[in-house]
Amino acid sequence: MGTDEQSGTRDLAIEIRGLGKSFDDNVVLRGLDLTVERGSTMVILGSSGSGKSVLVSMLVGLLSPDEGEVLVDGVDVAPFETAEQWRSIWLKTGFLFQGAALFDSMTVGENIGFPLRQHTDLGEAEIAERVARVLSWIDLEGTEGKMPSELSGGMQKRVGLARTIVLEPQIVIYDEPTTGLDPLTSDTISELVLRLQKEQQVTSVVVTHDVRCAFLVANRVAMLDAGCVLVEGSLDQIKESPVPKLRAFLYG
């Protein structure tokens, strides 16, 4: 996985080169380089202010970089300015917001079906079938008619994930997927991230400060510090790294 056997080159889903971003005099990202191999899970760690959220915002078009390249599936999205330019990327890239971001006025079924109605020509029967399928996948069968307010925080997060994957994206980006959840529910979300990778070969980028989640899902880990990648490597390499800031973050 992740290597083109004929050419010997790595098969990259995401490649970031020399990424820079500032807000007035506050430099958030400075010359950041990072790659994510197709079909793998990259976990991005970092304390508050390290640039994690700004980085993922650029991967999905919520922010534009000041400099550098952001290649998603081989396409440099850094110059993109319009929704039309982003459309093909959005259709293959799912984004799970930190707070699930469900529409309060829509039922569970309507929430999950929303991307299908917006971006496909599927009929209502086909939409209902696909909604039922993803609800079964997240173990929430039969909840189509419930409102988000009737669900627990963990159930809302799972419905948010179902909405994220209903278009069957090749890449899924998670912004703090376990924030505010108890350890058991957090593990459930982490297990779903793992299942997506193993069963559907989804490429995942997981931004988190939850070390347990990172250890459960990561193939590779990158820690950001002061807008740069402080250290990056396989999960085993990261666990054994002597870098003081990383060890303090992982082990206290």
C-beta atoms surrounding 115 within 10 Å? 19
Q: How do residues 143-173 score in pLDDT, each as one tens digit? A: 999 999 999 988 999 999 999 999 999 999 9
- Tell me which residue of 76, 72, 66 sits closest to 20, measured CA to CA: 66
Q: How do residues 79-107 score in pLDDT, each as one tens digit? A: 999 989 998 899 899 998 877 789 999 99
Residue found under tokens 């997506």: 196
pLDDT band at 5 (very low <50, low <70, confident <90, very high): very low
For residue 158, report the phi and psi dihedrals to the nearest 5 degrees: -65, -40
- Tell me which residue of 123, 199, 134 sits closest to 161, measured CA to CA: 134
**CATH assignment of 12-102+168-251, given 3.40.50.2300, 3.40.50.720, 1.20.120.330, 3.40.50.300?**
3.40.50.300
Domain boundaries, the chain: 12-102+168-251
- The pTM score is 0.89
Residue found under tokens 């993803």: 134
Q: Is the pLDDT of residue 1 over 80?
A: no
